[in-house]
Structure 1
Amino acid sequence: MPQPANPEPVHDHDAMLSRKFGKEVANYFSGSPLNRVGFLRGDHKFLSQALNHPSTKFLLCNDLQPLVADKAGDKLAYVKFEDVQKVVGKDPYDTTEEAMLSSYDSGAYMPQMIFLGIDEKSKDALSFTNKKNTHTGAPYFAIDVTPKKSVQAECEKLIQELKGRGLEFATGRVMDIVAADAAIYAEARQLLDWNLRNPFCAQCGQPTLSVNGGFKRTCPPKDLSRTASKTTSGISNALPTTGIQPTDASERPPCATRKGISNISFPRTDPTVIMAVINHAGDKILLGRQKRWPPYWFSTLAGFAEPAESIEEAVRREVYEEAGVHVGRVVIHSTQPWPYPANLMIGAVGQAIPEGEKIDLGNDPELDDARWFDFGEVREALRVGTSGLGEDAGPEYKEGGLRLPPPTAIANQLMSSVVNGFANGVAKM
């Protein structure tokens, strides 16, 4: 399947910064067409109207895989509220957040739902006035329809109905849908995944409740399941570490997260550096490969940033640990959201110091090989030897030649920029 194009960068109106540093680079999974209007996530009046509005679109995910059209599979497929009403059930936003907390029941399963934002270019969209400002757009939600617990039968029935319409859920890593849809899916996947991974309070271990349109989790002071548990078992619900007996059967033991402003848990994003490292002479680029990759396949080095470490320091440390090369100057090139599961790839270009170019793989067994490649060889590989892992290269590729990641990967964008003049100023970003 042909690789989708990357999103167009923000129009800069001949900005001063673009004239000096070059055009902004936009990578795959970025460039969402939605305005996230984060300040409306806690407004249940807005969310309730958005949920039931005719212009609203729902992206369904099954085991975190998005619904797509099965013929081409290059675009997301959306459904209406009436399609998912039996799965979602009663409008969860027809009450206040305070009421949700007071009536919280950890034993009652509710499919995870995420408010993604609004498409302000949509016609016949929802118009909502918040304080003094009116916001108009088609609302977008993501819903987890993985068949399980109390909604298993309804989810299975819905999935079969969707198949009858020629729709199916994508498989594998979703890297072949159009750029705008990829950005919407990235937001949906990362938030659904985060909620799935964080069902309990990190301080007291009790179940948590998803609030704020799916962007926060809170530890409610009460849980109606505790009442049922105490009634049927006659066993105290107090945590053994506290020794405090609640006065209400549904009341939970004290939790530090309910004090002050620390009563919520936010989604995590893991900063990850990925870098194109050039030699001191400026005519070679350092690439590495992992054992699990196909033959002849190389890419730029990458790794997680550590606590109390700048991006520049993370680049130098990762390159030294993985390849033994010492890097001097580091500049930021561009960034890429990566929802597998929650990374922000921070692309950088670094240059080795003259006495630090010798490759040594003895520090870290992560790499199977690392080499310095001439710019010309990389340019040719970018032309004929790119593809997704497990996919064939272009028709001009000759066996034994260098293989590289596709244009939708930030590694490809870094290499392209470097070998086409970014480092020496011949060509801008």
Structure 2
Amino acid sequence: MTAPIPDLPILAEDDSMLSRRFGREVANYFSGSPLNRVSWLRTDHAFLSAAFAHPKASFLLLDNLSPLAKDLTTLAYVGKNDVLPLTGPEPFKRSEEDVIKQFNSNITQPLILFLGIDEKKNGFEYRGYKGNPYFAVDVTPKGSVEEKAKGVVEAAKAKGGQSFIPGTRLMTLNAPEAAIYAQARALLDWNARNPFCGGCGQRTMSINAGTKRVCPSTDLADAPEGGEPKKRADCPTRHGISNLCFPRTDPTVIMAIVSADGTKLLLGRGKRYPPLWYSTLAGFLEPGESIEEAVRRESWEESGVTVGRVVIHSSQPWPYPANLMIGAIGQATPDGETINLGNDPELEDAKWYPFGEVREALDLKVSFGDEAPKGAKEGGLRLPPQTAIANRLINAVLAGYLGAAPKI
């Protein structure tokens, strides 16, 4: 069995009009970060320098997107002295404008991402903002800093009780740290995928504490020592307002589809799923398409089922690599429940499952791919764990989410 499923973030109860009408807001796994991102301070090199140098600053190391951790449930953080061999003592000393002017495409700059401050911890203060700072550092050995990065990685491994967790999808972390990891992973992965400008093809550089990339107008590469940087070819990103490269987020709809009579749930089985495992349907939102339209289109394309009314339930960041899962619940039309997998052959199978059978599968509380626990029905349905928004959508349906709206 895998590690126990961590508790999901719970939002404070309130007595607002919206909560009375629609119920308590849902927070899904990978959301609910304990950090205040204070995003407007990412260009303030004085703030970043002070935060980086603070003795209580925490640094999360990622090697090829694998985080340093104590175990499958808990991240491990290092201190400033552990990253200095790679980052140097004052990586944020110069202003962003000066850093861009000193761009050298032959030199690999270690990527240091500012994540935010934990306001529940005391120790650091800057202009009234209080909370211990958190950073993520890409220690993947590469380019001109390969040997320095290797040294940091080996030193981290040499410390007892921590290691880099391999694997493409990490779903066992405790919920607050899963959100921190999701932010770090998505941004480091985006930076790694965008070394070249989409406008002119020249090399870009990371700015804004890891949350933007820019195509500089000059380059010190191959310039004589002490000489002026060479002017680069013109680029469309240098014209207009804020025409820079920002992190991408790919919106994806994921939907629990209920039968017209409200007694069954439509579930599909992907071709790579373990035996007996089914989930809700999902697909990418396309340009010029509303969320509701995407739910109807994807449901019909994958299963042949025609969906009528659609309501949005909740969303989930999904850093593999940069998705935002938009959870919805829809209801099939009375004459549109016939399953047909011949449109888009993405699914291996799709079925209507009675609510009772779905509830039995949810009660097993196993992680994706796990063996069935003792006492489970042989050949019975298997569903995603509670860390997946699919699980939360299914639970919402069974809890009567589609019941009559209260009168106001």
Q: Same fold (TM over 0.5)?
A: yes
SS in 2 for 1:293: coil
Pairing 1:320–2:312 present: no
Question: Percent of pairs identical after alignment?
Answer: 55
SS in 1 for 2:248: coil
Deviation by residue 1:386-427 (Cα, 9 ceiling, x = unmatched): 322x32233332330001111100001111111222122599
Q: 2-side partners of 1:303 and 1:212: how far apart?
A: 32
Query: Could you tell me which residue of structure 2 aligns to residue 404 of structure 1?
Result: 383
Deviation by residue 1:209-257 (Cα, 9 ceiling, x = unmatched): 111111100111101115269x9xxxxxxxxxxxxxxxx7611121121
Q: More displaced, 339-348 or 152-161?
A: 152-161
Residue 180 of structure 1: how far off its partner (Å): 0.2
Query: Could you tell me which residue of structure 1 aligns to residue 313 of structure 2?
Result: 333
Q: How does 1:194-273 map to 2 (within 5 A)?
A: 194-227=190-223, 250-273=230-253
Query: Structure 2 vs 1, CA of residues 75 and 92 (structure 1 numbering), >3 Å: closer, same or farther?
Result: same
The match for 1:153 among 143, 147, 151 is 147
Query: Could you tell me which residue of structure 2 aligns to residue 177 of structure 1?
Result: 173
Query: Could you tell me which residue of structure 2 aligns to residue 128 of structure 1?
Result: 126
Q: 2-side partners of 1:156 and 1:143: how far apart?
A: 13
Between the two proteins, the alignment pairs up a number of residues equal to 402
Query: Could you tell me which residue of structure 2 aligns to residue 245 of structure 1?
Result: none
Query: Could you tell me which residue of structure 1 aligns to residue 10 of structure 2?
Result: 9
Contact map agreement 2:122 2:130 (CA 8 A) in 1: no
Q: 2-side partners of 1:153 and 1:107: how far apart?
A: 16
Which consecutive unaligned segments of at least 5 residues does structure 1 have? 232-247
SS in 2 for 1:264: coil
Deviant stretches of 4+, over 3 Å: none
Instruction: Please report the TM-score for the alignment, with normalisation by the length of structure 2.
Output: 0.95
The match for 2:136 among 114, 136, 142 is 142
Query: Could you tell me which residue of structure 1 aligns to residue 23 of structure 2?
Result: 22
Q: What is the RMSD computed on CA atoms of the aligned residues?
A: 1.8
Contact map agreement 2:107 2:143 (CA 8 A) in 1: no
Letter in 2 for 1:148: K
Letter in 2 for 1:37: V
Q: More displaced, 308-317 or 6-15?
A: 6-15
Q: 1-side partners of 2:111 and 2:231: how far apart?
A: 24
Letter in 1 for 2:329: V
Query: Could you tell me which residue of structure 1 aligns to residue 117 of structure 2?
Result: 118
Q: 2-side partners of 1:349 and 1:170: how far apart?
A: 35
Contact map agreement 1:3 1:408 (CA 8 A) in 2: no
Deviation by residue 1:39-70 (Cα, 9 ceiling, x = unmatched): 1011111001111111110000000011101x
Contact map agreement 1:387 1:393 (CA 8 A) in 2: no
SS in 1 for 2:130: strand
Q: 1-side partners of 2:255 and 2:371: how far apart?
A: 25
Contact map agreement 2:6 2:173 (CA 8 A) in 1: no
Query: Could you tell me which residue of structure 2 aligns to residue 242 of structure 1?
Result: none
Contact map agreement 1:3 1:407 (CA 8 A) in 2: no
Pairing 1:105–2:104 present: yes
Deviation by residue 1:110-160 (Cα, 9 ceiling, x = unmatched): 121111110011122x1111xxxx111111110110122232223222222
Pairing 1:298–2:278 present: yes
Query: Structure 2 vs 1, CA of residues 280 and 111 (structure 1 numbering), >3 Å: closer, same or farther?
Result: same
Query: Structure 2 vs 1, CA of residues 258 and 226 (structure 1 numbering), >3 Å: closer, same or farther?
Result: farther
Contact map agreement 1:385 1:402 (CA 8 A) in 2: no
Pairing 1:423–2:402 present: yes
Letter in 1 for 2:287: P
The match for 1:189 among 185, 193, 211 is 185
Which consecutive unaligned segments of at least 5 residues does structure 2 have? none
Letter in 2 for 1:423: L
Residue 273 of structure 1: how far off its partner (Å): 0.2
Q: More displaced, 83-92 or 353-362?
A: 83-92
Query: Could you tell me which residue of structure 2 aligns to residue 243 of structure 1?
Result: none
Query: Could you tell me which residue of structure 1 aligns to residue 257 of structure 2?
Result: 277
